[in-house]
């Protein structure tokens, strides 16, 4: 039961604007990012005593998350918004649940068959909503509706549906419609459009110099479609966009929050900031000023301030000084309560039966598999090194990764390892920072490359390493076949340089399911009729 907004004190109103971050794990020693994640004592204080409005989670199993969210709701006098960045499925963040390939895989399918891609996007939204509800999440921080038209984009990249605003608009609408069949809030991000940037806003402030006509033609349509589809929340980006506001960062811009979203487009839902810990803004203004400026500009929810208590105190001081008013706070909390009324019904008790009847159902996995298969490309030349006798001897599989410790998909049972060993390949994992040990002793080499855009760190060094390995293996006539997992941009850079007789596979996914499907395609693609040159494996 929600109280009336007018009955709340100023401090209670302010607390409802704050979304704090924690882990889904149950025990403090499992914190993976202690500088950002509240431990159990601090979290209980924030939820039970301070009365924050929401929590964002990262990490744990789906079962642990169900227990954690139930405990937090029990502590809170006012129901909480519970959210996570589950753009690629609940399993992307919480193990055991369904994992989808990156959203750009749907964009690839749409280039060939838009109606089919739209249906898959609708199914994907539905699956993510159902699994989110089962573990206590009521707010999905998806879909990404940015139009990623810059291949060098380090922060959006393959998280977007694609480069064509028409396709992105269609898939955005379908995803939201699929998710909103269930009591969850969705989120269109990152307004006014983070797709054509080459800086990472976690670290620096990107600038977009396009004029208004270009923004209205490319960046804006997916957001307008999301609002028309009933999206509950819009997340703003930390950007410098002079065509909209020549004086303020978009996070702090009344033109962005009020003039465009509220006045021109009639958006009545919640406006949420991107994470306020991000270097693009907090390094410029500090924790308290960031919070006050965002509320002044029209934001309703403050995502992940560096110091939640400090942010609350700064907003309280702004009210006391007259910089902010109670009416301004009540307007946001009224919208927050409207959202909570939609999704914060009494939670079902967490039971094994509930989880096993909702999480990772076969039909959910089938949807993910269909997206993987239909977005994958396979090149199998008529004369293939996979079938020639010379290439059946002294076989090795080299697996190139940026950072092995950040590769949860390369477990000891991962198909990239196990399947290749079953085919008679020795296997070796090589990191980007590993000194190259290029040897001229001949080996028939299958090169498996796991690469995608990495927020918070550049992959330029890794791409250079890929170039070195491909150049060496081809020059020494050791390259038998290549699989790229992840980035179509990196694959497109290197696949045209391969010798004609080298077969190749590209898949958007990096999960064990994507690995199994890609390897199956590679080793079975010589069968007559299964795949044509540059064709799609089905």
Which 3 state secondary structure label does DSSP give 364?
helix
Backbone angles phi, psi at 200, to 5 degrees: -95, 115
pLDDT tens, per residue, the chain with 538 residues: 799 999 999 999 999 999 999 999 999 999 988 888 999 999 999 999 999 999 999 999 999 999 999 999 999 999 999 999 999 999 999 999 999 999 999 999 999 999 999 999 999 999 999 999 999 999 999 999 999 998 888 889 999 999 999 999 999 999 999 999 999 999 999 999 999 988 777 778 889 999 999 999 999 999 999 999 999 999 999 999 999 999 999 999 999 999 999 999 999 999 999 999 987 788 889 999 999 999 999 999 999 999 999 999 999 999 999 999 999 999 999 999 999 999 987 677 788 888 999 999 999 999 999 999 999 999 999 899 999 989 999 999 999 998 877 788 899 999 999 999 999 999 999 987 776 666 667 899 999 999 987 665 667 888 999 999 999 999 999 999 999 999 999 999 999 999 999 999 999 999 999 999 999 999 985 443 333 333 332 2
User: 379, 404, 408, 378: which is closest to 501 by C-alpha?
Assistant: 379
Q: Strand pairing of 18-23 and 302-303? A: parallel
Cis bond upstream, residue 192 (ω within 30): yes
- Phi, psi (degrees; rounded to nearest 5) at 312: -60, -45
For residue 378, the surrounding DSSP H or E stretch is strand 377-379
Q: For residue 393, what are its two tokens? A: 């001897």
**CA 9 – CA 326 distance, rounded (Å):** 9
What is the C-alpha separation between 183 and 179, in angstroms, rounded? Answer: 8
* pLDDT score of 152: 84
pLDDT of residue 535: 37
For residue 279, give every residue at least 6 positions away whose Cβ sits within 8 Å of its Cβ, in sequence order, or none. Answer: 201, 202, 203, 204
Spatial strand order of the sheet with 479-486 comes to 377-379, 504-507, 479-486, 444-451, 395-401, 426-431
Q: Which domains does the chain have, with CATH numbers?
A: 5-359 (3.20.20.300), 376-524 (3.40.50.10870)
Q: How far apart are CA 174 and CA 160, in angstroms?
A: 14
Phi and psi, residue 215, nearest 5°: -60, -40
Instruction: Give the angle subtended at the CA of 109 by the CAs of 106 and 114, to the nearest 5°.
Output: 95
How far apart CA 317 and CA 337 sit, in angstroms, is: 24
Catalytic residue list = 202, 274
Cβ distance 258 to 248 under 8 Å?
no
- Which of 97, 107, 91 is closest to 489 using CA atoms? 107
Handedness of CA 186, 157, 511, 120 (dihedral sign): positive
Structure confidence at residue 259 (pLDDT): 95
Give residue 528's pLDDT: 35
Q: Count other C-beta atoms under 10 Å from residue 114's C-beta.
A: 16
């Amino acid at each position: 039961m929600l109280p009336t907004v007018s009955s709340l004190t100023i401090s209670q109103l302010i607390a409802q604007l704050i979304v704090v971050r924690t882990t889904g794990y149950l025990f403090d020693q499992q914190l993976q990012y202690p500088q950002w994640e509240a431990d159990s004592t601090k979290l209980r204080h924030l939820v039970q005593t301070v009365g924050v409005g929401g929590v964002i989670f990262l990490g744990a199993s789906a079962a642990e998350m169900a227990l954690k969210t139930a405990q937090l709701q029990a502590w809170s006098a006012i129901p909480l918004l519970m959210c996570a960045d589950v753009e690629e499925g609940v399993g992307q963040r919480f193990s055991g649940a369904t994992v989808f390939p990156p959203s750009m895989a749907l964009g690839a399918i749409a280039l060939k068959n838009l109606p089919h891609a739209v249906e898959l996007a609708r199914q994907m939204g539905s699956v993510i909503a159902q699994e989110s509800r089962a573990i206590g999440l009521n707010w999905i921080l998806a879909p990404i509706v940015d139009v990623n038209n810059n291949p060098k984009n380090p922060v959006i990249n393959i998280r977007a549906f694609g480069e064509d605003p028409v396709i992105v608009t269609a898939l955005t609408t379908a995803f939201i419609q699929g998710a909103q069949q269930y009591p969850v809030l969705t989120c269109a991000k990152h307004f006014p459009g983070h797709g054509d940037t080459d800086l990472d806003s976690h670290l620096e402030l990107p600038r977009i110099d396009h004029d208004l006509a270009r923004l209205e033609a490319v960046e804006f349509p997916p957001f307008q479609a999301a609002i028309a589809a009933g999206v509950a929340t819009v997340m703003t980006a930390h950007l410098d966009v002079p065509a909209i506001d020549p004086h303020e960062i978009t996070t702090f811009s009344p033109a962005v929050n009020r003039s465009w979203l509220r006045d021109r487009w009639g958006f009545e839902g919640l406006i949420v900031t991107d994470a306020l810990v991000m270097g693009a803004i907090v390094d410029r203004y500090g924790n308290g000023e960031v919070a006050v400026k965002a509320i002044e500009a029209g934001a309703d929810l403050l995502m992940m301030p560096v110091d939640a208590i400090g942010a609350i105190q700064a907003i309280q001081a702004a009210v006391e000084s007259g910089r902010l008013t109670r009416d301004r706070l009540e307007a946001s909390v009224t919208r927050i309560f409207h959202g909570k009324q939609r999704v914060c019904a009494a939670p079902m008790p967490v039971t094994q039966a509930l989880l096993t009847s909702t999480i990772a159902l076969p039909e959910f996995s089938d949807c993910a598999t269909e997206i993987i298969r239909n977005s994958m490309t396979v090149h199998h030349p008529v004369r293939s090194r996979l079938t020639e006798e010379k290439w059946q001897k002294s076989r090795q599989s080299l697996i190139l990764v940026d950072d092995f410790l950040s590769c949860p998909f390369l477990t000891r049972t991962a198909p990239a390892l196990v399947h290749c060993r079953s085919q008679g390949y020795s296997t070796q994992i090589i990191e980007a920072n590993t000194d190259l040990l290029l040897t001229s002793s001949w080996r028939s080499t299958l090169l498996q490359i796991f690469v995608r855009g990495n927020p918070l760190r550049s992959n330029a060094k890794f791409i250079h390493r890929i170039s070195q390995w491909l150049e060496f293996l081809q020059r020494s006539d050791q390259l038998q076949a290549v699989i790229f997992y992840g980035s179509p941009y990196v694959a497109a850079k290197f696949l045209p340089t391969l010798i004609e007789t080298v077969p190749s596979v590209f898949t958007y996914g990096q999960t064990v399911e994507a690995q199994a499907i890609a390897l199956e395609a590679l080793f079975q693609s010589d069968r007559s009729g299964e795949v044509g040159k540059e064709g799609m494996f089905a």
